A = this chain, B = another copy of it.
Amino acid sequence: MAQEIERKFLVKNKSFIELSSHHESFKQAYLNSNPERCVRIRITDSKSFITIKGKSTDDGLSRFEWEKEIPTDEAEQLMLLCEDFSIEKKRYDVKNGKHTVEVDVFEGANKGLILAEIELSSVDETYEKPDWLGEEVTGQKQYYNAALSNFPFSQWS
């Protein structure tokens, strides 16, 4: 149970792939995609989770987050109850200074979208910005994964 503090960016090119030490496939769906009480089920190659998030602060930087690891067979059962649209993506971990940048390459209805996140321990913590990071989109709700499940990138004009 914690406050999640992160900055989110578009990604200019795929040069991050050769810098990545690890990647995994993620599938996630929502028991509630409302950003004020978002309930997410996530299954990765190695683990599964239930995660609950509250609404973000006005600056979009920080958000209440509660997460528990659960057995994958239970996550699969819970996914059957979720809202219709799920998110599939590959997550690349890229070491960058003292942080790890998580880069999500979306698939399916969000194919073409690549988002990077840097998790911080306080809102004023500094970070290095690698040259493959593009425009910052922190707090822009259309880039929330819960929003992308209902209004995917392929439908944006």
How far is A40 from B54 in the complex, measured between Cα atoms in Å?
15
With a cutoff of 8 Å between Cβ atoms, the chain B residues found around residue A52 in the complex are 31, 78, 81
Q: A residues near B, CB below 8 A?
A: 1, 31-32, 34, 36-37, 39, 50, 52, 54, 64, 66, 68, 70, 73-74, 77-78, 80-83
Copies of this chain per assembly = 2
A-B contact pairs, 16 of them (CB 8 A): A1-B73, A1-B77, A31-B31, A31-B37, A31-B39, A31-B52, A32-B37, A32-B39, A37-B81, A50-B50, A52-B81, A54-B80, A54-B81, A64-B81, A68-B68, A68-B70
With a cutoff of 8 Å between Cβ atoms, the chain B residues found around residue A37 in the complex are 31-32, 81-83
Q: Which of A1, A32, A54, A78 has the most CB of B within 10 A?
A: A32
Q: Which of A77, A80, A81 has the most CB of B within 10 A?
A: A81
How far is A34 from B54 in the complex, measured between Cα atoms in Å?
18
| Cβ-defined contact, A66 with B78, below 8 A | yes
Closest chain B residue to A30, Cβ basis: B37
A108 to B: closest C-beta gap in Å: 21
How far is A1 from B64 in the complex, measured between Cα atoms in Å?
27
